Structure 1
Amino acid sequence: MAMNLAHFEIGRRRRWGLVKGDAIAPLDQEYPTTAALIEHGETGWIAASGRAASVSLADVTLLSPVTAPARILCQGANYRQHMIESGMDPDEKTFNMFFEKADCSLNAPRGTVRKPPHVRLLDYEIELALVFRKAITAPVTVTEATLSEYVFAIAIANDVSARDIQIPQTQFFKGKSYRGFCPMGPYLTVLEPEEFHYLDRLDLSLSVNGAERQRDTTRNLVFKPAETITELSTFSDIAPGDVLLTGTPSGCALRVPPPALRKLMQLVLPEKKLWAAFERTQSRRPQYLKAGDVVTARIKSPDGIIDLGEQRVTISA
């Protein structure tokens, strides 16, 4: 049966624990990193599963269940409707688009995301995160049957993005790596091997101030986890505790013009004016995040058996 592990602070101590309803059964040992938990914590959570939860969730501060140092690998445009919304044809996509976020962007699942003063176009992106179980240092072929050998847990991530940095400067890393730009959790949801089929049937939803902005299902992923990890392994090493964000559904604040109009604009406008027009048009969209906005993200299976919890952060100036 799937379990939720929480990373939390109580009495100035950072602990890990097994979530049971509205309470936590703390693990006996303290693990400084997610990697240490993965490599050495199994006896701890097995023991915790056999005792009562003694700490109320209301009495702790939840921390990111993914700790630095960690690589945060990301897939771009990996949901069908999001690709269509971005002017791409999902049936013609022949390769994954990969990029990274800095691990200083890791943030708690409750609390605040600071909007840098020079950023005007702050966007949200709910994503399913895969947390790696073991090191990968050579090409491997991952299948649906062997996926559990490589993935330790799944979690909610929000790939917060400064679009006025990312797009005009063509700087994915810079526009997505500001400190705090990756709220993670609230939990690491650890699946049993026989539960990994749920990765293809999870519902994602994100709302801002109670109004739904994004909703989709992982059935609509263009590149699934097994083939994506297989591709990653051909060129990149992976360590335990590293993370893969698997893409975001449609519904982001960002809107791009149709391909034909984009080509026309590129032909008739100098680059400086082109990006000025982009920022001017985007700034009229009320969907971009502002100080005081509350962003709530949820991922769970339709039958409720797999529930990654609720992430809720407030945007601050």
Structure 2
Amino acid sequence: MNLVTFTAAGRQHWGVTASGGVLALSGEFPQWRTLRNVIEAGAIPQVLAAWRGRTASHPDGTFTHDIPIPDPEKIICVGVNFPDRNAEYKDGQDAPPFMSLFPRFARSFTGHGAPLIRPPESHQLDYEGEIAIIIGKGGRRIPEADAHSHIAALTLCNEGTIRDWVRHAKFNVTQGKNWDRSGAMGPWAVPFTDPAQITDVALETRVNGELRQSDRTGRMLFPVARQIAYISTFTTLVPGDIIVTGTPTGAGARFDPPIWLKPGDVIEVSAEGIGTLRNGVADE
């Protein structure tokens, strides 16, 4: 089973997935307000043990998914992290010596099943399918060899982007990456127990059933362990922090002409062992 944050009857809960729905556990553990607090307490095994032998408290159709960690201290995204994605820049550089990073805010994401929001200021809404890791054990200057032991869980991310706004400035893309509810995360958090869950798994994005992005994490220019080591060099990682690990080539901006998302589209981001994150599109 997987960890999940959801809203039912106007109230947010956390719990675990169950057959035909979800099982709310937040009421049984009031000391932990969100899944971030569960992770911080090292209590994932305790929470999973509370599920055994029980059925869903909220059947499918009676709740909506929220992003798995609704209150992370920080979300850091890795850009240009696949060889074909790097080639799109046509700068003659085989691989960048250091990874590109930028922040996103939790408010810029919505949950599984909810629409990505296209703002009136720009219709250049684009998709980027990615795997995200959730930090379980914090630290500073984490050695790459120890990095996997700092992961609590995995989830999926559609790192929705307003393309023309990422080009408003010379040195950053932050303003194009942080429109309210322009991206999505979820549907759940898969507990991390084995490096094989991240080292070489298939990642795909489909739009209206058409395969647009496809690659494997084993081809990342900067593997997840290196991401954790590098990021923790300059900032202390804490439990519940999220690292969005990079998207393959094939985003809408790379078509000629570009294909932007529009109301009625359905985007599905899938990865082996994690599941599928599905979202539509709606105008603000």
TM-score if structure 1 supplies the norm length?
A: 0.81
Would you tell me which structure has more helix in proportion to its own residues?
1
Secondary structure, counterpart of 1:99 in structure 2: strand
Instruction: Please say which of residues 157-166 and 33-42 is displaced more in the overlay.
Output: 33-42
- Shift in Å, 1:90: 6.7
Secondary structure, counterpart of 2:198 in structure 1: helix
Paired residue type of 2:12? R
* Matching of residue 59 in structure 1 with residue 31 in structure 2: no
Does the Cα contact within 8 Å between 2:40 and 2:240 map onto a contact in 1? Answer: no
Paired residue type of 1:228? Q
Alignment of 1:189-204 (within 5 A): 189-192=190-193, 195-204=194-203
> What is the alpha-carbon distance in structure 1 between the residues aligned to residue 163 and residue 10 of structure 2?
36
Please name the residue that 1:142 is paired with: 144
Please name the residue that 2:48 is paired with: 45
- Shift in Å, 1:150: 0.8
Please name the residue that 1:165 is paired with: 165
- Shift in Å, 1:237: 1.7
Paired residue type of 2:206? S
Paired residue type of 1:298? S
Identity %: 28
> What is the alpha-carbon distance in structure 2 between the residues aligned to residue 140 and residue 165 of structure 1?
34
1:296 pairs, out of 259, 268, 275, with 268
TM-score if structure 2 supplies the norm length?
A: 0.90
CA offsets 1:195-233 (integer angstroms, 9 cap, x no match): 222212221111112212111111111101111111111
Secondary structure, counterpart of 2:49 in structure 1: helix
CA offsets 1:5-59 (integer angstroms, 9 cap, x no match): 1111223332222223433233232543332121244322221134334432332
Does the Cα contact within 8 Å between 2:68 and 2:187 map onto a contact in 1? Answer: yes
Paired residue type of 2:279? V
- Shift in Å, 1:86: 2.8
Q: How many residues matched?
A: 277
1:20 pairs, out of 15, 18, 40, with 18
Structure 2 gaps of 5+ residues are none
CA offsets 1:276-305 (integer angstroms, 9 cap, x no match): xxxxxx8x72521122222111111xxxxx
Change (3 A) 1:63 1:92: closer
Does the Cα contact within 8 Å between 2:76 and 2:103 map onto a contact in 1? Answer: yes
> What is the alpha-carbon distance in structure 1 between the residues aligned to residue 40 and residue 69 of structure 2?
14
> What is the alpha-carbon distance in structure 2 between the residues aligned to residue 242 and residue 179 of structure 1?
19
* Matching of residue 207 in structure 1 with residue 177 in structure 2: no
> What is the alpha-carbon distance in structure 2 between the residues aligned to residue 285 and residue 315 of structure 1?
20
- Shift in Å, 1:312: 1.5
Secondary structure, counterpart of 2:221 in structure 1: coil
